[in-house]
Amino acid sequence: MPGKILVIDDEKDMLVLITRILSGKTPHAIDTTDDPLRVPDLLKKNRYDVILTDLKMPQLNGIEVLEMVKEHDASTAVIIMTAYGTIESAIEATRKGAFDYITKPFRKERILHVVDQALKWRHMQKENLYLREQLEGKPLFPALIGNSIAMERLKSQIDRVAKTAATVLITGESGTGKELVARAIHSHSLRKDKAFIPIDCSTIPESIIESELFGHVKGSFTGALKDKKGLVEEANGGTLFLDEIGDLNPTMQVKLLRLLQEGEYKVIGSNTIRKADIRFIAATNQNLQERIKKGEFREDLFYRLNVINLHLPSIRQRPEDIPILARHFLEKYSVLYNKNIKGLSRNALEYLSRREWPGNVRELENVMERGVIMALGDILEVGDLSTPDSGSSPPSLATMPTEDIFSLPFKEAKDRLMEEFQTQYITKVLEKHSGNVSQAAKESGLKRQYLHRLIRDHKVESKTFRKSEPIE
């Protein structure tokens, strides 16, 4: 894709090298200058698609150039170059609107890839899809429920981030809705018409995660009976969401870093290097900086992922949103289960507000769904949600009103009791083993696959019971 490009560097040899690289097969229109003070005049006379600027220059540095360019035209893609390895400064520039950064010395393929990505982003910016959607009056983030100060701040951040191509790291406790945020970013980005591909790094066994990500060719290993397309290929042109990135093994961290830096990867069993045009969003409930100190997570990968950090508040940090969330889930599951429930009692709302919610929004949703299922009246009461002495545990079968159960038809009563028994059993055994499905299956005498199916059918989230370090 040809474009109008400006290269700024106080070293003339570097200008010659970059011009030679960019003047290969694609007929770009390239301007160069070794004097950053000429930039204002060049911007007045030309409309550049991409600007590459050195970070450390006399009189005017790369960040100052970036600010000047963005003030002139916010849709111009600015790429920062540095020979000093000051990754923190480059990340600061990216936060201020730079498209990407390149460290010197760089490979030819690296600079060609970044410039190509920047030109595609610039082209999509011109289409102004985001503005068109706004003019249609569509709600910004319908899936993100809540109007607390913390949530409004988060929505504002998502609004700004979605328009860029920047890599995003979403942090927050388990159950806060990190995937919802990732989907909101994608659906309001210029890639919204392309695929959103999620992968949970914590649930895929270490032995097959490379095949899942990159794919494999037939015969590349035992069991590779046919070619398999990887998730990276499926996400090409769209967004790849790497959930629980902190659980990624060291080998895959190296290969993911190359994909992020170079936009390149290899299918297992093939020597051909493939290109990928992907926006990356990662999420974790772990403290990655602590894992870096322990040698469990690569620092360079962290910097690549943490260009933009969005932190999701826990329910404890936005208790004013609990009634809004509760009513939302009440309406959702009343429709789903064909129940005519009009609302929650005052006591039920107070009960929900008093709970600690270690599982955050996910736990609240599970409680509300269970309440809708178990409710016999048209107003949800505390007893529908939990018994007074059960804390955050599901209601006990032993304390359910006998007359209510025996007033139902046999099959309905049996199904309801069995449903409640299975939900309680799964919850307790997962809680005992901190969400470890393999250990829970072993103790319960169930096959792991069958327990997974029960967990899915009863919408019990094993992640809710995992013990993790708090996010700072």
Band (95; pLDDT cuts 50, 70, 90): confident
CATH number for the domain harbouring residue 77:
3.40.50.2300
Band (321; pLDDT cuts 50, 70, 90): very high
Contact 62, 56 (CB under 8 A): yes
- Top-confidence residue, 134 or 38: 38
The pLDDT tens digits for 421-459 are 788 888 888 877 877 888 888 888 887 777 887 887 777
Residue 397, pLDDT above cutoff 50: no
For residue 113, count CB atoms less than 10 angstroms from its CB and return exposed for 0-12, middle for 13-18, buried for 19 or more: buried
Co-location of 305 and 179 in the same domain: yes
Specify the pLDDT at position 85: 59
CATH number for the domain harbouring residue 292:
3.40.50.300
Contact 239, 194 (CB under 8 A): yes
Orientation angle between helical segments 108-127 and 12-22, nearest 10 degrees: 70
Co-location of 173 and 245 in the same domain: yes
Residue 133 within any structural domain of the chain:
no
Half-sphere exposure of 113 (CA within 13 A, CB side): 21
* Residues contacting residue 240 through CB under 8 Å, at least 6 positions apart: 197, 199, 231, 232, 278, 279, 280, 281
Co-location of 297 and 321 in the same domain: no
Contact 74, 34 (CB under 8 A): no
Range of the domain at 241: 146-313
Co-location of 438 and 367 in the same domain: no
Q: What is the C-alpha separation between 122 and 245, in angstroms, rounded? A: 29
Co-location of 153 and 238 in the same domain: yes
CATH number for the domain harbouring residue 325:
1.10.8.60
Specify the pLDDT at position 45: 83
Specify the pLDDT at position 466: 59
Residue 139 within any structural domain of the chain:
no
Residue 308, pLDDT above cutoff 60: yes
Residue 134 within any structural domain of the chain:
no
How far is C-alpha 364 from the chain's CA centre? 21
Residue 135 within any structural domain of the chain:
no
Specify the pLDDT at position 391: 45
Residue 137 within any structural domain of the chain:
no
Percent of the chain with pLDDT over 70: 86
Co-location of 167 and 261 in the same domain: yes
Q: What is the C-alpha separation between 246 and 249, in angstroms, rounded? A: 8
Band (400; pLDDT cuts 50, 70, 90): very low
Last residue of a domain, one of 313, 335, 370: 313
The alpha carbons of the chain give a radius of gyration, in whole angstroms, of: 26
Residue 179 within any structural domain of the chain:
yes
The pLDDT tens digits for 347-377 are 888 889 888 898 999 999 999 988 998 888 8
Last residue of a domain, one of 285, 313, 341: 313
Residue 147, pLDDT above cutoff 50: yes
Strand partners, 268: 216
Residue 188 within any structural domain of the chain:
yes
Co-location of 307 and 364 in the same domain: no
Co-location of 295 and 256 in the same domain: yes
Alpha helices, H only, 136-175: 149-162
Residue 154, pLDDT above cutoff 50: yes
Co-location of 364 and 270 in the same domain: no
Co-location of 112 and 35 in the same domain: yes
* Residues contacting residue 219 through CB under 8 Å, at least 6 positions apart: 269
- H or E element, residue 8: strand 4-8
Co-location of 389 and 420 in the same domain: no
The pLDDT tens digits for 186-222 are 999 989 989 999 999 888 887 788 899 999 988 888 8
Residue 83, pLDDT above cutoff 90: no
pTM: 0.58
Last residue of a domain, one of 94, 127, 160: 127
SS3 219: coil
Residue 370 within any structural domain of the chain:
yes
Contact 42, 67 (CB under 8 A): no
Co-location of 246 and 358 in the same domain: no
Q: What is the C-alpha separation between 379 and 343, in angstroms, rounded? A: 5
Specify the pLDDT at position 86: 65
Tell me the helix, strand and coil percentages in the chain, rounded to 5.
Answer: 50, 15, 35
Q: What is the C-alpha separation between 429 and 261, in angstroms, rounded? A: 42
* Total tally of structural domains belonging to the chain: 4
